[in-house]
Amino acid sequence: MIQRSKVFLHDKLACPWREDFMTDSDIIDITGVDKRERETSMESIVVWFTSTLGNYVSAEVMVFIISLFPILELRGGLIAAWMLKVPLLKAIPICIIGNILPIPLILLFIKKIFAWMRRFRFFAKIVEWLEQKAMGKKDQIERYEFWGLVLFVGIPLPGTGAWTGSLIAALLDIDFKKAIAAELLGIVIATFIVSVVSYGLLGSIV
């Protein structure tokens, strides 16, 4: 099981360090990190997940759960896997499966769910906000369809990913099989990029 750990913040990135590499001035508890920084940083959200649920589930289950969540997805899962010292070859399939599972559900059912939610004034406002946020990023996907969706899912930028990509694809009525294929390819690309960054670049920092 994972113990609540102290972390070192390097350029706004929460990185676990071994005790023998740290000095007292380098160590801070995540509860002391500025609240605004925690709320706006994916890495800090990952730290919160691991420190909160870490005493109850294994590292592998934690990585899977994080990969399921919107915003975090595979990127957050791989960052968590690196932080929890899960081997890369074990982490990759866990993250990919976690990231893939919501895709067909979103593509097939999100419009029906939104239609039901619109019956209620409160939920209707949420649906409108989600659609506006998603469709505000539709230009690349609408113009290039398959390859636009591949790049949208595959290039790890803020606001992109499989969840938003699936929502946009559903709202644009992109063919189900084409959307699935594009997002799977995008996830493969994202896996490579984030693996290099988290296990390569971050590993060299530590």
> Closest Cα partner for 83 from 152, 5, 182?
5
CB 76 within 8 A of CB 109: no
pLDDT tens figures, 64-89: 999 999 989 999 999 999 989 999 99
Please state the pTM of the whole predicted model. 0.74
- Helices 176-195 and 102-117 cross at an angle (nearest 10°) of 120
pLDDT tens figures, 159-201: 899 999 999 999 999 999 999 999 999 999 999 999 988 887 5
d(CA 60, CA 72) in angstroms, rounded, equals 16
CB 76 within 8 A of CB 42: yes
Domain ranges of the chain: 8-100, 102-190
Cβ count near 148 (within 10 Å): 20
pLDDT tens figures, 92-111: 999 999 999 999 999 999 99
